[in-house]
Structure 1
Amino acid sequence: MRDAGSAPCGHTMQLVDARLVEIQGRLDELQATQAALRRLRQRLARLDPAECDPAGVCSAI
């Protein structure tokens, strides 16, 4: 860009903006996963291990 006679600031800002959007999307996904894991953890805390089928998979999942 500089070789073409224009300053690269606008292009750089667009790249940074795109990266910020991408990062926000990843953060949103991580927060959703965190919330789901917290809900699962709460369900696990309420389970009685004596009621679990030892031959089966955990009933919380």
Structure 2
Amino acid sequence: MSATPGKVVLHGESDVGGKKVFVCSFLQARDPEQVGRPFFAAWSPTARWFDELEPAFPHLPFPA
């Protein structure tokens, strides 16, 4: 999906530290160092767009 920082791939769902999350990465990014690096979004049954997702862990914000 397209987002302001780049094109995001949603790889699927996982459990990290007992928390259900979406596993994401950038296919393309404004910051080339972010391409391919995984990051986690809080699982949501209703989110349809990247801007509807929240970081899964407050101390690990989404890459910009």
Relative contact order (C-alpha < 8 Å, sep 6+): which is higher? 2
If you compute each CA radius of gyration, which structure gives the higher value, 1 or 2? 1
Shorter-normalised TM range: under 0.3
TM-score by length of 2: 0.17
